[in-house]
Amino acid sequence: FGSSCCATVSAVLTMAENANLLEKYNYPSSSDGSTSIEQYQGILAYAVNWENYEATKKYASLLKELKPTVVVPELKNYFAADSNAIVACMEALRVKEDTKARQSILTVLYDMLRYDSSCFSFYERALDEKVPVFSTLLGVIREGDGWDVYISDKAAWLLTIVIGHRPSFFSDADVVDVVKAVFAQKSCSDLGKLEAITNLLKPNVHRKTVWSQHGVGNLIFNVEWDQAAPLVYRCVFGIWMLSFDTDLINNLDTFQPVRKLKTIMLHSRVEKVVRLCLTVLRNFLRQKEMSEAIVEEGVLDVVQQLEFEKWRDAELYDDIRDVVQQIASEVKELSNFERYERELQSGQLSWGFIHSSKFWGENVMKFEQNDFRALKTLAERLMDENSNPVTLAVVCHDIGEIVALHPLGKKKVNALGIKDRVMELMGSTDPDLREVRREALLCCQKIMLNKWQDYGSQEKQ
């Protein structure tokens, strides 16, 4: 009775565990190229005759036990008991004549690491013992054009996750070889490539090297919000990994990471994706440039709306409220008129939130303070021959806003003799002042528009 009961419990555990693992594969291949549930079931049902292959004859008895239908705790016991387990698996991956045999052993290795991270210890031991884990898996990836998506994706995931776990064991050259191999093979799905690359972005030691490789940025940021959830999640995961490196994240203007997160949060209602977006925002809020981008993009409104959605995880509401509070604090700080005055005093103006329409709508009346001191400082910057082109462009923009929005704006501007200098800049032929000419033209139009309105009101009187 005892053995029968144990067998029943084992069978139940196997069914439950496989059902859990099946969920990881149940993404339609038509949308993201990942494995279908039918293919995974086929792998589970396939019986491999390891004695038939020269590479695996020596390890056939062990490999017979390493089946994807076996629960991970039992598989772990086999690996712990036999130091040749990883060696046997690497040899199994050399069986090119049986695609399903390769699929089977890759499934075992993949599921073990997904289910139990302590299984990384087997790879650590294998690497220390110089088992050719790197060369074997890299070889499988490079052969990708001759094999199916499943083999390419799982081999890429396995190798990159091992590198991410033990980065010091691998050189930058090793990592570059892997990145090139992943991009070179057409048989790797978009999801497979994205998982592999984001795995390599995990360790600090290789992050800059990975990011510098051609195609990595587009792979991550070209994912759209309406694509399959696993792809969107991995897109956000990649941005998260980049957010740990200040040098990298401050040079992502081309990819507009904040706008990407905002769009995803605006549309996605996948809890895992939303939660990771919030985590990335927390990292961004620790950096000045990214904080400004978050405020300027209006991310606060999008995150606030998330609190009114129905989430299964109650803790997600706490995460949302926490990020709302942090962003609101940044909005208050960045909208601060004193901050605007500090920039004026520095003599170096640059485009940002304190020159946006939102800022002007909230702060224009504060320009009356200290007898229009801020406007007078703007005039000084405008007249200063040493002011750089960006500063001049911003000054012209801000003066135009004061004229348009403040009741006394035009009067004060005329009193300071600003218009002649604005018209001078408007007519400049200096190629470096192209942006300045445009802003000066807009500023002059606002001054003249208000003047024409004054003439109109005088005629009516």
Q: Assess if residue 3 is contained within a domain.
A: no
Looking at 222, 245, 274, the residue that finishes a domain is 222
Q: Supply the pLDDT for residue 375.
A: 97
Same domain? For 54 and 111 the reply is yes
Mean pLDDT on 404-425: 94
**pTM of the shown model:** 0.77
Q: Supply the pLDDT for residue 308.
A: 97
Letter string b/e over residues 261-288, b meaning 16 or more CB atoms within 10 A of that residue's CB:
bbbbbeebeeeebbbbbbbbbebbbeee
Token representation of residue 17: 């565990």
Q: Assess if residue 11 is contained within a domain.
A: no
Looking at 222, 257, 281, the residue that finishes a domain is 222
Amino acid at 1: F
Q: Supply the pLDDT for residue 78.
A: 97
pLDDT band at 20 (very low <50, low <70, confident <90, very high): low
Q: Supply the pLDDT for residue 88.
A: 98
Q: Are 284 and 330 in contact (CB under 8 A)?
A: no
pLDDT tens figures, 25-51: 444 343 444 567 888 889 999 999 999
* Residue 339 predicted with pLDDT over 90: no
Question: Crossing angle, helix 389-405 and helix 434-460, to 10 degrees?
Answer: 20
- Say how many domains are in the chain: 3
Q: Residue 48: what are its φ and ψ, rounded to 5°? A: -95, 130
% of the chain residues with pLDDT over 90: 79
Q: Assess if residue 160 is contained within a domain.
A: yes
Same domain? For 114 and 212 the reply is yes
Same domain? For 258 and 169 the reply is no
Q: Assess if residue 236 is contained within a domain.
A: yes
Q: Assess if residue 458 is contained within a domain.
A: no
pLDDT band at 124 (very low <50, low <70, confident <90, very high): very high
Instruction: State the residue range of the domain holding 399.
Output: 344-448
Same domain? For 164 and 254 the reply is no
Q: Assess if residue 457 is contained within a domain.
A: no
Mean pLDDT on 144-161: 88
Q: Name the helix (H) or strand (E) containing 1.
A: none
Closest CA to 108 of 86, 136, 128: 86
pLDDT band at 455 (very low <50, low <70, confident <90, very high): very low
% of the chain residues with pLDDT over 70: 89
Same domain? For 280 and 134 the reply is no
Same domain? For 86 and 201 the reply is yes
Q: What is the DSSP letter of 356?
A: S
CATH number for the domain harbouring residue 316: 1.25.10.10
Same domain? For 202 and 261 the reply is no
Same domain? For 28 and 39 the reply is yes
CATH number for the domain harbouring residue 405: 1.25.40.150
Same domain? For 101 and 214 the reply is yes
427 SS3 class: coil
C-beta pairs of 443-449 under 8 Å, 24+ apart in sequence: 443/396, 443/397, 443/399, 443/400, 443/403, 444/419, 445/400, 446/400, 446/403, 446/404, 447/400, 447/403, 447/410, 447/413, 447/419, 447/422, 449/404
The set of residues, in sequence order, having a beta carbon less than 8 Å from that of 280 and lying 6+ positions away, is 236, 239, 240, 243, 261
The set of residues, in sequence order, having a beta carbon less than 8 Å from that of 26 and lying 6+ positions away, is 36, 37
In terms of residues, how long is the chain? 461
Q: Assess if residue 36 is contained within a domain.
A: yes
Token representation of residue 283: 């990292």
Same domain? For 83 and 170 the reply is yes
Closest CA to 154 of 103, 116, 198: 103
145 SS3 class: helix
Same domain? For 209 and 235 the reply is no
Q: Supply the pLDDT for residue 39.
A: 84
Q: Assess if residue 443 is contained within a domain.
A: yes
Q: What would the 3-class secondary structure string for 17-73 be?
A: HHHHHHHHHCCCHHHHCCCCHHHHHHHHHCCCCHHHCCCCHHHHHHHHHCCCCCCHH
Token representation of residue 212: 């510098």
Mean pLDDT on 207-231: 97
Looking at 171, 191, 222, the residue that finishes a domain is 222
* Residue 335 predicted with pLDDT over 90: no
Same domain? For 195 and 270 the reply is no
Closest CA to 219 of 245, 189, 249: 189
Using the Cα atoms of residue 287, residue 292, residue 297 and residue 303 in order, give the sign of their dihedral: positive
